[in-house]
Amino acid sequence: MRPLAILGGTFDPVHLGHLCVAWEAAEALDAEIALVPAHVPPHRPPPRATAAQRVALLEAALAGQDVLRLDTRELEREGPSYSVDTLAELRGEIGPDRPLLLLVGADAFAGLPRWNRWREIFGLAHVGVLTRPGEHPVLDPELADEIAPRRARVPAGPAGQVIPITVTALDISATAIRDLLAAGRMPRYLLPAGVVDRPGLLAPYTEVP
Ligand code: ATP
């Protein structure tokens, strides 16, 4: 059964770093990938773009292919969502047998013990750790102990493993893109062509607030 993998994030805006790792994960796992834009919790700095604007950017970025798709469920729910709740909802929809993966960057993975009900995630999904060549984040002992018996090279079964996925290191961040756009630059080759072709989508980042 083809795995389903999700990549969450703010996507403020979506950039080629996101699409590159999502695509490489799709190929490595032979998986369907859903990008899941997050509600930003009230205690975090608000995104520059509204949820609707971030969705429009993602739709433009994903046009013309059907390996990566958009899942707006977290924006449709009231308030911020925890990954564990999103995975539980997806597990309810896809049934108990299909492999489900949560994709996280290696840095974010090192912070997993600070996530809400983090151990429950392994009952719902595998965790795919997007790892750049040479990247070895230090894991705290609690996390290292939890994952030691879970390490695997390919997903077997519906959930419960930790799978490293080697991805190309692209030093692109949404923060750097927002800074370039605010300075009047056009980071044409850091952004998806579908976004660059519709510059109006970038207005939230170029307009003086
Ligand atoms: P910001 O600069 O606003 O913090 P960001 O570029 O890190 O944003 P997010 O929306 O926070 O983007 O990222 C969503 C997910 O994509 C995260 O899991 C993050 O680790 C991953 N990601 C972001 N940029 C890259 C990149 N250049 N290469 C690989 N993964 C990336």
Using left for φ > 0, alpha for ψ between -120 and 50, and beta otherwise, residue 95 falls in left
Residue 209 has pLDDT above 70, yes or no: no
pLDDT in tens, 74-100: 999 888 889 999 999 999 999 999 999
> What is the rounded CA–CA span in Å between residue 163 and residue 45?
31
Task: Tell me which of 2.60.40.10, 3.40.50.620, 3.40.50.300, 3.30.420.40 is the CATH number of domain 4-172.
Answer: 3.40.50.620
Q: How many helices (H) and strands (E) does the chain have?
A: 10, 6
Give pTM, 2 decimals: 0.95
pLDDT in tens, 195-204: 999 989 999 9
Ligand 1 neighbours (beta carbon < 6 A): 7, 9-12, 17-18, 21, 104-105, 108, 130, 170, 172-175
- Distance of alpha carbon 23 from the chain centroid: 11
Q: How far is the CA of 7 from the centre of ligand 1 (A)?
A: 10
Q: How far is the CA of 192 from the centre of ligand 1 (A)?
A: 14
Q: Where are the domains of the chain?
A: 4-172
Residue 105 has pLDDT above 90, yes or no: yes
